[in-house]
Amino acid sequence: MTEVLKVRDLKKSYKRGFIPRSTLVLKGVNFSVPSGSITGFLGGNGAGKTTTMRCMLGLDFPDSGEVQFFGGPLNEASKRRIGFLPERPYFYEHLTGREFLQFYARLTSSWNKKILDSRIDDLLKRVDLLFAKDRPLRNYSKGMLQKIGVAQALIHDPELVILDEPMSGLDPDGRMYLSEIIIETAKRGPAVFFSSHLLHDMERLCERLVVLKDGLCIFEGTTEAILDRGGVEFEVTYLAGGQKNLRRITEHAQVQPILKKLINDGAEIVEVRRMRSSLEEIFVKMALKGGKK
Amino acid sequence: MRPIWVLALNTYKEVIRDRILYGLLLFAVILIGMSLALGQLSFAEQARISANFGLSAIHLTAVALAIFVGSNLVFKEIDKKTIMTILVRPISRLQFIIGKGLGLSLIILTMISGLALVLVGIFALLNMTVDVRLAWVLLGLLCESLILLGVTLLFSMFARPILVVCLSVGIFLIGHWQDSLAFFARKNPEGPTALVHWICRHFIPNLERVNWKELVLYDQPVNALVKAQAVGYSLAWYAFCVALATWIFRRKDVG
């Protein structure tokens, strides 16, 4: 699998305060995003997710480090292959939905009007905003703005879609809808790299995860791998002496001997459940302890 | 060129759909209309006073547009984060600044042209002849607005809008006082005024070079060569300011 994005030893500091003091926000971030994958970018508030994205995309200038898109540096050609939605964006309120997408499409591509119009209609249909295409953005709800924001990131058929907190502030319906858009986008071919605080959505959507803590990458790998870090537990429900009992087994090797013993003692096994820690539990543990790759 | 044009058109749409512009236009039309009433106060110079007042109204409106809208042109994009969705496209920061500047310049041109039509109507009412000299005066106003827009764009690279407005208004005032400053400097070549004049002459544009109202007000002849040089002077100032603004902008974190 080829890598569409590779970040190596990215460092960034900001000067803040009346007497400027340098604060190191990114302390050497390393990760990569394979083509065609949905990769989640996880981290607490102030971990450096948004700063990493800004540095990657040339919006902020890193102190040092290397960012490669499609095997090369960020340039005009690679920018044509990237779609981006920033966190909590405000869009041009004076434009209608259609004009808004026309504007971004014309900045990136040179499609003729006919192709552009049909592309915009397709995309508006995909994000369920066709009904509001001629409405000014100032009359859009937050969920609608987030959807049109995703549409502007997709308008030029990018091969890598980067979304910064796309679910932020959306209601459950909006989150569900956006999740579907992300899955559908990835099915069409582009890699999707997005950050979110909503771990349940991350667990459900992402094949791969990159976890950032205090400006350092503390995990990079598949979602399965991070879930395995939490270990596996088994929960046995059995009937003994006319009563329903529950027993937790933390070691996999102990499952068979314990079950045998329960049966020998005359217990009736009702259910054996394999339990795994949720991403949220694992993330909290990692955030408290810090972790190693 | 295409991204510059797309950005310019979007800026044009943005300002043209803003209510503030119409407030400013209404103010200008009222001022121009008032020039008729004001002219009545004069016994023999009604036409000249009306023309002066009308041209000054266009002048002030164009300058106000350049300074007040210009001070927010880039700041608003950064503040509202819209710049992030633009600069990740295949657009350089130079193209971004040129595009935004071109959009506002087109608005100023539209506004000057529209108000000029109102003024021509007033001239017709006063039986004043309208000739090519009015076009020269309007070109001068456009040039001055361009210089001030360039200066405003430059200041907006390192200051917040309110400070940008103060600095630009300062440049506007000093820019028009340069000839007076030169007069006082000649009177006292050894004094501090001479030093102030030297600094202003080298670092602040002389806006009187493009103030050609006397062509219409005093029926003066047009010296095309001098005017062409003044247009070149304005464009050079604009280009210098945009280049310096871009140099700063290229080093600026916009996230």
CA distance A278 to chain B (A): 33
Put simply, the answer to whether A61 touches B88 (Cβ < 8 Å) is no
In the numeric block, which tokens belong to residue A91?
A: 């869009």
Task: Tell whether A204 and A73 lie within a shared domain.
Answer: yes
Candidates A77, A106, A152; nearest CB to B85: A152
Put simply, the answer to whether A94 touches B80 (Cβ < 8 Å) is no
Task: Tell whether A174 and A61 lie within a shared domain.
Answer: yes
Candidates A59, A91, A104; nearest CB to B255: A59
Q: Pick from A133, A154, A175: which residue ends a domain?
A: A154
Distance CA B180, CA B176 (A): 8
If DSSP codes are grouped into helix, strand and coil, which group holds residue A162? strand
Q: What is the CATH number of the domain that holds A52?
A: 3.40.50.300
Read off the pLDDT of residues B103-145 as tens digits, 9 standing for 90 and up.
Answer: 999 999 999 999 999 989 988 888 888 888 899 999 999 999 9
Put simply, the answer to whether B255 touches A50 (Cβ < 8 Å) is yes
CA–CA distance from A157 to each of A34, A163, A264, B54 (Å)?
Answer: 18, 15, 63, 52
- Contact between residue B109 and residue B142 where contact means Cβ atoms under 8 Å apart: yes
Task: Tell whether A285 and A167 lie within a shared domain.
Answer: yes
> Nearest residue of A to residue B96 by CA position?
A107
Put simply, the answer to whether B90 touches A80 (Cβ < 8 Å) is yes
Distance CA A100, CA B237 (A): 34
What lies within 8 Å, CB to CB, of B173 at 6+ separation is none
Distance CA B131, CA A170 (A): 61
Instruction: Report the pLDDT averaged over residues B226-243.
Output: 94
Distance CA A132, CA A174 (A): 16
Task: Tell whether A105 and A242 lie within a shared domain.
Answer: no
CA distance A63 to chain B (A): 12
Across the A:B interface, residue pairs with CB atoms under 8 Å apart total: 78
Among the listed ranges A20-34, A255-269, B211-225, which one has the minimum average pLDDT value? B211-225
Read off the pLDDT of residues A205-248 as tens digits, 9 standing for 90 and up.
Answer: 999 999 998 899 988 999 888 887 777 788 899 998 888 999 88
The region, left, alpha or beta by phi > 0 then psi within -120 to 50, assigned to residue B14 is alpha
pLDDT at res. B35? 80
- Contact between residue B90 and residue B231 where contact means Cβ atoms under 8 Å apart: no
What lies within 8 Å, CB to CB, of B102 at 6+ separation is B4, B5, B7, B8, B11
Kindly tell me the sign of the dihedral angle through the C-alpha atoms of B112, B118, B123, B124: positive
The region, left, alpha or beta by phi > 0 then psi within -120 to 50, assigned to residue A115 is alpha
pLDDT at res. B59? 94
If DSSP codes are grouped into helix, strand and coil, which group holds residue A280? helix
Put simply, the answer to whether B89 touches A57 (Cβ < 8 Å) is no
Candidates A80, A86, A106; nearest CB to B84: A86
User: What range does the domain containing A48 cover?
Assistant: 1-81+158-230+278-293
Distance CA A76, CA A81 (A): 9
Task: Tell whether A221 and A285 lie within a shared domain.
Answer: yes
If DSSP codes are grouped into helix, strand and coil, which group holds residue B156? coil
Task: Tell whether A45 and A128 lie within a shared domain.
Answer: no
Q: What is the mean pLDDT of chain B?
A: 90
Instruction: Report the pLDDT averaged over residues B143-149.
Output: 96
Q: What is the mean pLDDT of chain A?
A: 88
> Nearest residue of B to residue A51 by CA position?
B255
Put simply, the answer to whether A60 touches B90 (Cβ < 8 Å) is no
pLDDT at res. B220? 79
Taking alpha carbons only, the member of A179, A224, A187 closest to residue A205 is: A179
Task: Tell whether A214 and A238 lie within a shared domain.
Answer: no
Task: Tell whether A205 and A284 lie within a shared domain.
Answer: yes
Q: Which helix (H) or strand (E) holds B243?
A: helix B224-249
Instruction: From chain A, pick out residues whose CB is under 8 angstroms from the CB of B17.
Output: 94
Q: Pick from A106, A124, A154: which residue ends a domain?
A: A154
Candidates A61, A94, A103; nearest CB to B6: A103
- Contact between residue A182 and residue A194 where contact means Cβ atoms under 8 Å apart: yes
Put simply, the answer to whether B80 touches A90 (Cβ < 8 Å) is yes
Task: Tell whether A129 and A200 lie within a shared domain.
Answer: no
Task: Tell whether A284 and A182 lie within a shared domain.
Answer: yes
CA–CA distance from A119 to each of A13, A105, A150, A184, A261 (Å)?
Answer: 41, 10, 14, 16, 65
| Percentage with pLDDT > 90 across chain A | 47
Is residue B45 pLDDT above 80, yes or no? no
Crossing angle of helices A97-108 and A142-154, rounded to 10°:
30
DSSP labels, A120-133:
HHHHHHHTT-GGGT
CA distance A140 to chain B (A): 16
Please give the single-letter amino acid code of residue A166. P
Instruction: From chain A, pick out residues whose CB is under 8 angstroms from the CB of B2.
Output: 106, 110
Task: Tell whether A225 and A236 lie within a shared domain.
Answer: no
Place A27 in a pLDDT band, splitting at 50, 70 and 90. Answer: very high
Put simply, the answer to whether A107 touches B251 (Cβ < 8 Å) is no
> Nearest residue of B to residue A161 by CA position?
B88
| Percentage with pLDDT > 70 across chain B | 100
Put simply, the answer to whether B89 touches A79 (Cβ < 8 Å) is yes
Task: Tell whether A3 and A62 lie within a shared domain.
Answer: yes
CA distance A89 to chain B (A): 6
C-alpha torsion B246→B9→A82→A166, nearest 10: 100
**Number of domains into which chain A is organized:** 3
In the numeric block, which tokens belong to residue A151?
A: 């549409």
Please give the single-letter amino acid code of residue B216. V
Give the CB-side neighbour count of residue A147, counting CA atoms within 13 A: 29
Put simply, the answer to whether A89 touches B3 (Cβ < 8 Å) is no
> Edge-to-edge strands of the sheet including A232-240?
A243-249, A232-240, A268-276
Distance CA B174, CA B200 (A): 8
Put simply, the answer to whether B6 touches A80 (Cβ < 8 Å) is no
Q: Pick from A119, A134, A154: which residue ends a domain?
A: A154
Distance CA A43, CA A10 (A): 16
Q: What is the CA radius of gyration of chain B?
A: 19
DSSP labels, B98-154:
HHHHHHHHHHHHHHHHHHHHHHHHHHHHTT----HHHHHHHHHHHHHHHHHHHHHHH
pLDDT at res. A290? 55
> Nearest residue of B to residue A12 by CA position?
B253
